[in-house]
Structure 1
Amino acid sequence: LRNVNFSVDEGEMVAVMGPSGSGKSTLLYTVSGMDSMTAGKVLFNGKDISKLKPNELAALRLDEMGFIFQQMYMLKNLSVLDNIILPARQSKANTLSAKEKLERGKELMRRLGIIEIADNDINEVSGGQLQRACICRSMINEPKMIFADEPTGALNRQSSNEVMEELCKINADGTTVMLVTHDAKVAAKCSRVLYIVDGNIQGEYNLSGKDERTRERALNNWLMEQGW
């Protein structure tokens, strides 16, 4: 990353796009504190995360951030529900009782339409179901912001649409979302798109207020201008 300077407002849903190897995931992991910086600073809710101790940064990620990965990173020795509530069990800031944490996990699964797989092993469910379980896991501690790295990258179109519909609902409820994607259909559902090339943000495109029927076409035209 070089000379990157941008902000994400509370309640926004921002997509990061760009060629392979341009720095999209590096940007996501740096601003979320997953990767360390060699220069500059990141302010999260007014707090400079570069000055936090490792245990403080880990607590911040656990309590105030949610993560959705393309690889999903579910533990094979736990059921789907136990994977979802694991961050709640680890969090000192989450003051719910063990029973309440279990019920919150189930409620999130009901909301995303996967309650029937609560007791399944992760190798017994589809990719779309597992990605929705990852969304549940990201929401278990009621984070201020969700970071998603290619959340639909391994899914078919129907599952991709379902996952994005749920992320849009979560964003509509007030949770800030920042995601990396190669898919213009996914990015078109966001309020703003950042385009990164060789570690630099080359441009950004505001989709807020644009007509639902034309925003994907407008975004594609802009992406072509960026060299997409």
Structure 2
Amino acid sequence: MEVSLRNITHHYRDGMGERVTPLRNLDLTMRSGESLVLYGPSGCGKSTLLFILGCMLKPSEGQVTIDGCSLLQYGEKDLAELRNRKIGFLFQMCYLLPTLTVRENIMLPFWIRGGKAGDRGADSKAVERLLEQLELEERADFLPYQLSGGQRRRVAMARALANDPEMILADEPTAELDEEKKGFVGKWLGEQAGKKKIVVVATHDPQLAAYAGRVYSLSQGQLQEKVLARETVCSSG
């Protein structure tokens, strides 16, 4: 998979009616097996960039291409199908449906996708594997309110992987987690890049940089690559 952003600019109006431009003429290319961490203060554009990468937000200017195809050619139905097939999202809030069990929450991407009746057995097996991998078997029939914060995070991680996406986008995935659980999430994200997935993480957590191939900060709408070993910052397109 290859995702490319070219000359991306995005702007919107804030609550006071003022025009805000978090991204300016930004370029970025990501390929299978690459991982990237985005740093920056709240409001700098990290989440905006994730939403554009995830086909949930159209930029004001510029072009997004996935595997050489411009998303300008996609309608809303096509974009929804693309998101379901190729992209896994891990948000700051877990957004588990409170009336569904752990197993059912993980099944959601399959239900949204639909498909043939013959797929159901394979889908169920995939969910059971995820429950095992993320040590959730004993909580499979619990409702979200019966889980700890770390367990809810693991359910969200399993749901993000349910359709075996080619790209994983994570927005502040370690927020409100203790040090041990932060390490678990960081290691898990690093493993996904090792499985030839694209991984992009927006965070304030410096621990996550240890698991990323590239580390960037967002400043004045532009990406700046952070070379941690040298404690310097150099411009990157």
Cα RMSD after superposing both structures: 2.0
CA change 1:23–1:161 in 2 (3 A) is: same
Measure how far apart 1:145 and its partner are. Answer: 0.5
Q: Which stretch shows the higher mean deviation, 76-85 or 89-98?
A: 89-98
Which letter maps to 2:226?
Y
* Partners of 2:90 and 2:173 within 8 A in 1: yes
Q: Which runs of 5+ in 2 are unaligned?
A: 1-22
User: Which of structure 1's runs of 4+ aligned residues deviate more than 4 A?
Assistant: 92-96
Measure how far apart 1:174 and its partner are. Answer: 1.6
Identity, % of aligned positions:
32
CA distance in 2, matches of 1:95, 1:138: 22
Measure how far apart 1:99 and its partner are. Answer: 2.7
CA distance in 1, matches of 2:48, 2:154: 24
- Per-residue CA deviations over 1:145-173 (Å, capped at 9, x if unaligned) read 11111111121111111111122222212
Match of 2:97 among 75, 78, 89: 75
SS at match of 2:175: coil
Confirm or deny that 1:182 pairs with 2:204. yes
Measure how far apart 1:67 and its partner are. Answer: 0.5
Alignment partner, residue 168 of structure 1: 190
If each structure's helix is expressed as a fraction of its own residues, which one has the higher value? 1
Q: Which runs of 5+ in 1 are unaligned?
A: 207-214
Match of 2:215 among 193, 201, 225: 193
If each structure's strand is expressed as a fraction of its own residues, which one has the higher value? 2
Measure how far apart 1:95 and its partner are. Answer: 8.0
CA distance in 1, matches of 2:121, 2:128: 11
* Partners of 1:11 and 1:171 within 8 A in 2: yes
Match of 1:155 among 177, 187, 193: 177
Confirm or deny that 1:19 pairs with 2:41. yes
* Partners of 1:15 and 1:193 within 8 A in 2: yes
CA distance in 2, matches of 1:8, 1:93: 30
CA change 1:87–1:47 in 2 (3 A) is: same
Confirm or deny that 1:204 pairs with 2:225. yes
The number of residue pairs the alignment matches comes to: 213
Match of 1:88 among 90, 94, 110: 110
CA distance in 1, matches of 2:55, 2:185: 25
* Partners of 2:189 and 2:211 within 8 A in 1: no
Measure how far apart 1:92 and its partner are. Answer: 4.4
CA distance in 2, matches of 1:111, 1:49: 34
* Partners of 2:167 and 2:199 within 8 A in 1: yes
